[in-house]
Structure 1
Amino acid sequence: MGGQPRYLWVADLLRKPILSGELPAGSRLPSRAQLARHYDVSEQVSRHALRLLVTEGLVESRPGSGYYVRGARESVRFPRTDRSSGSGVRPLDEEYIGTVTMPACDQLARRLLIREGEPLYRTRYVGRADGAPVAVHSSWEPTLLTHNTTRTPGDARPDTSVLERLSGAGVIVDRVVEEVSVRPLREPEAELLQTTPGLTVLVVERTHFTGQRPVETSDLVASVDRCRLLYRLSLSRSQR
């Protein structure tokens, strides 16, 4: 074991039979107490080892039941160069959570270049793969853009894109900026994804602009082991 932390040593001993197939998908792992006795470590060490394997996507935690070897699952690819833009959770199966009016918090006010407290429409969708929730899409836009029209997020048809909907209200989107990062999963998102807060998730922050004015912003929060981003970039040839 050398100078290696003991939880990494325990995790490595569990990882090897999982990767070799000796422990097939669906196999139940020993409990934290059983691991602690078997490897002569504390339950805190065995807990950290199991959590590491969960983070790596090799193991899943089932509350009230224990830890199980996770089977390989096909990744879902999100095309990020679609013509309509703002594709939400597609190509996943969409579940519309709803549209509500809320005041802009400091963070959203900075993203949309508006005053804190100004009213926003917030719309949420959950994306499912094989019946399981794997992504949440939340979008925000100032209510003044489409208020008293049939182009609000709650009034538009589900298949209407952000560009089409805002264009119908006279707001022409001419630029999209997207930033990709990872961060811990937050409590409201974890509830929608039916999982544990704190897990590392993929986050795509996308903002639509009219000139220099941001008119809509959104977060796609997705499982890092189920979701990938697919970019197709067209490169123009220089003219000689």
Structure 2
Amino acid sequence: MREQFLCSLKSKFFKMEPVISVRSATIYHDETAHEVMKDISFDIAQNEFVYLIGKTGSGKSSILRTLYADLPFKKGSIKVVDYAIHKIKRKEVPYLRRKLGIIFQDFELLTDRTVKENLFFVMRATGWKKESQMLEKVNSLLEQVGLSGTLNKMPHQLSGGEQQRLAIARALINDPEIILADEPTGNLDPTVARDILNLFVKINQSGTAVLMATHQHSFLKFHPSRVLYCEEHGIKDISKGQIIERMLLQKNN
């Protein structure tokens, strides 16, 4: 009995694989052979909230695109939710992305479809069949992201913050293991940006890992968390204090 209990504890607490594991990886800027990062390594644990911070052009977006298999990857190894990116086949990519929630700065909504149809479009593409179940899920998601009552609105009838909330709802459709967010507040005013940050924190607290690329260092004041800092063709784990020091140095130079 005691052995079964110990095995249960071990299974629950000691066998949690990182949701992302990167080893000695070279990251490319685009489909060309231009390298933006070399020999980078890091892990992201299940349920972890991580900021990806760096100057424009430092490789933040390229890292995210590599993680969801949108850019070529040749050197090193990357494992994302049980998929080896360095070995992944083209036909496997859609199945990888179903386990991820991908969020962009510019929302990428279908402007000619309602809120409901924006979400239904993704659901149908990822295998949902019964409309009653789809509608139940959509209503639940809209409530979760603070968009109750917008089911039949068009995207242009929503504010920028509301459009990003819709994009977040879309990313949550298939209960992803991790959210990959690329400058999700870049087009929003500071107050709305903070509201969106709070939504990501809430999502993380419910059990979903979050990797957020951002240039907004001020977020660390409102929600301190781990930072991966992109610089000099590499990536470093740094503390909140080190971020503040770097900001002051940049301001004084």
TM-score relative to the length of structure 1: 0.29
TM-score relative to the length of structure 2: 0.28
Higher relative contact order (CA 8 A, sep 6+): 2
Q: Which one has a bigger Cα radius of gyration?
A: 1
- More strand per residue: 1
